[in-house]
Chains A and B, each alone.
Chain A
């Protein structure tokens, strides 16, 4: 028997990343760190050599050194290893630590549902439509938030905001302006409290635009209140779902008021939020109407949240079509960004900001963490969409936050618990998606929104490509995100 055993080299293999090309260059989006690195020729060659599977370093050097030089190959290997794009096959798989935030994690944004009444009757609305999770017709909670509850909410917000210098208060509904009186009083009260506490407070609200009387507009402008208008686009699209209770479309009624808002409210940029359904999938047309013809500063899109079988649910082919148009708009955005011009497609801008910062999320959104929703009766919920649902309550503004429930929720909803996401390269940005969406789709806030994965990955890839191309052609543009 021989006294020596064959030499067994160590093997190197790829770790988790998503490569993408932009501006003729190749980049890596590393998972889960969310770092973006540019690859040069040797490092790209080394990485590609590992496409077929693990290889020993000597084998890689033997194969690549004649073309690239031994030093370049070895250095590339070392660098790829340092950023963990590759690693030893024997190294233990890095697990995503299930780290929960600290117990006194401060509240950054509080969303007040000042009313659950609306003067419109949009058929897809989660407050009223078939997918509502809160029974707004026979729920004992009041239809309008009282002045007292609103003030208690403000106190609660400042209390929970810890050492943060700024608190964000967002009004939501129903139609927020139906409770205009309480809005006015609450803003005044919050300003006063902020002054006492030496803090700042920032306000925003969402409205359907139908109640924007001149007096209201002036008040919004004077108080620097950020306004988002829920609107679905040109007349024929807006009037399909955004209807009054008698079935009449709301476009003709709302549009003159919205235009006046855009003329007179110059203290904050005003955005439009579009809900996309199967019937209103002309994304580009909607965008140009709202951005260029009407004059919104930004336009954001969200596919309707719904169970599968509803008539307005977007089906697979619809998603492809929608994605194509999103991609075209993203291309437009890129052309603008390269020239340092503002475009206004907020979906792509928001994602690019997250990419530039290297956000890697343990939770899909701030719900129950830095963001909470308050129902008309003062119950505190994960976010505005859950406001009023007893199952998702984490306290009340009168009795305080139920920290135990909050942490149970966070523990249960950490992305590390979502097995499906654990191999997905998009998880630093997606982390499983909206809890409310999951609740409506699957009856469980804790499951990943798997019906969206293809769409999410495809869209994230588009945003990475736009990002990479900006980084190549106009890197200065990205500095605005380095707050």
Chain B
């Protein structure tokens, strides 16, 4: 750590612990749960894991089904994007661009029946290659 200096024995233990888990995660930070708050040199998906409990990636969903995403607490308040926004923005604003079809080439009409995502998301259909 560059900005905090451990003074007492407990702080040194914490530092050693944090240092060890940073190393184990290939440089990813131990606690950070928002991408930007993690070490700028060590942005890594593992760095987004919640500190305790099962591995739940933050902000995006692994399964494409809006509203299924949960944050590290199991709720939706801490997502890096509001759930509805994922639908259209994940592939633009997020570093995890895998959940929506390619609307430029492959499926330009994918959202054609969906005027308002919050209301109409059920009208979006699965895309098959």
Query: Which chain A residues have a beta carbon within 8 Å of chain B's beta carbons?
Result: 1-10, 12, 27-28, 30, 33-40, 42-43, 57-58, 61, 71-72, 74-84, 87-88, 90-92, 355-358, 360, 467-468, 471, 478, 482
In the complex, what residues of A have CB within 8 A of residue B15's CB?
A: 83
* Residue pair A33, B7 in contact (C-beta under 8 Å): no
- How long is the Cα–Cα vector from A92 to B72 in the complex, in angstroms? 9
* Among A84, A88, A356, contact of B8 (Cβ-Cβ < 8 Å): A356
Of A2, A9, A10, A77, chain B has the most CB atoms within 10 Å of the CB of: A10
* Residue pair B4, A39 in contact (C-beta under 8 Å): yes
- How long is the Cα–Cα vector from A28 to B6 in the complex, in angstroms? 10
* Residue pair A482, B9 in contact (C-beta under 8 Å): yes
- How long is the Cα–Cα vector from A43 to B30 in the complex, in angstroms? 18
For the complex formed, measure the closest distance between the CB of A429 and the CB atoms of chain B, giving whole angstroms.
Answer: 12
In the complex, what residues of B have CB within 8 A of residue A355's CB?
A: 8
* Among A58, A83, A87, A360, contact of B4 (Cβ-Cβ < 8 Å): A83
Tally of contact residues, B, Cβ under 8 A? 47
* Residue pair B9, A39 in contact (C-beta under 8 Å): no
Within 8 A of A (CB), among B76-98: 77-78, 80-82, 84-85, 88-89, 93
* Residue pair B39, A78 in contact (C-beta under 8 Å): yes
In the complex, what residues of B have CB within 8 A of residue A77's CB?
A: 37
For the complex formed, measure the closest distance between the CB of A4 and the CB atoms of chain B, giving whole angstroms.
Answer: 6
* Among B3, B4, B9, B78, contact of A356 (Cβ-Cβ < 8 Å): B9
* Given A77-B37, A468-B7: 19 more A-B contacts, CB < 8 Å: A2-B116, A8-B82, A12-B34, A33-B10, A35-B10, A36-B7, A37-B4, A37-B6, A37-B11, A40-B4, A71-B40, A75-B2, A82-B32, A87-B31, A88-B34, A91-B78, A355-B8, A357-B9, A471-B7
Q: Which residue of A lies closest to B83 (CB)?
A: A5
Answer whether residue B14 sits at the interface, using C-beta atoms and an 8 A cutoff: yes
In the complex, what residues of A have CB within 8 A of residue B4's CB?
A: 28, 37-40, 43, 79-80, 83
Query: Which chain B residues have a beta carbon within 8 Å of chain A's beta carbons?
Result: 1-11, 13-15, 18, 29-34, 36-40, 71-73, 75, 77-78, 80-82, 84-85, 88-89, 93, 111, 114-119
- How long is the Cα–Cα vector from A474 to B114 in the complex, in angstroms? 69
For the complex formed, measure the closest distance between the CB of A362 and the CB atoms of chain B, giving whole angstroms.
Answer: 15
Known interface pairs A4-B88, A37-B4, A39-B4; A90-B77 also in contact (CB < 8 Å):
yes
In the complex, what residues of A have CB within 8 A of residue B119's CB?
A: 1
* Residue pair A1, B115 in contact (C-beta under 8 Å): yes
* Residue pair A357, B8 in contact (C-beta under 8 Å): yes
* Residue pair B40, A75 in contact (C-beta under 8 Å): yes
For the complex formed, measure the closest distance between the CB of B92 and the CB atoms of chain A, giving whole angstroms.
Answer: 10
* Among A57, A88, A358, contact of B78 (Cβ-Cβ < 8 Å): A88
A-B contact pairs, 26 of them (CB 8 A): A3-B115, A3-B117, A5-B82, A7-B85, A8-B81, A8-B82, A10-B34, A10-B78, A34-B8, A36-B7, A36-B8, A36-B10, A37-B5, A57-B37, A71-B40, A76-B3, A78-B29, A78-B38, A78-B39, A78-B40, A79-B1, A83-B4, A83-B11, A355-B8, A358-B9, A467-B8
* Residue pair B34, A57 in contact (C-beta under 8 Å): yes
In the complex, what residues of A have CB within 8 A of residue B11's CB?
A: 30, 35-37, 83, 358
In the complex, what residues of B have CB within 8 A of residue A1's CB?
A: 115-116, 119
- How long is the Cα–Cα vector from A71 to B42 in the complex, in angstroms? 12
- What 10 pairs across the A-B complex have the smallest Cβ distances? A358-B10, A90-B78, A35-B11, A43-B3, A38-B5, A1-B116, A36-B8, A36-B7, A35-B10, A37-B4
In the complex, what residues of B have CB within 8 A of residue A358's CB?
A: 8-11, 13
For the complex formed, measure the closest distance between the CB of B26 and the CB atoms of chain A, giving whole angstroms.
Answer: 15
For the complex formed, measure the closest distance between the CB of A160 and the CB atoms of chain B, giving whole angstroms.
Answer: 28
In the complex, what residues of B have CB within 8 A of residue A33's CB?
A: 10, 14
Of B3, B80, B81, B114, chain A has the most CB atoms within 10 Å of the CB of: B3
In the complex, what residues of B have CB within 8 A of residue A10's CB?
A: 33-34, 78, 80
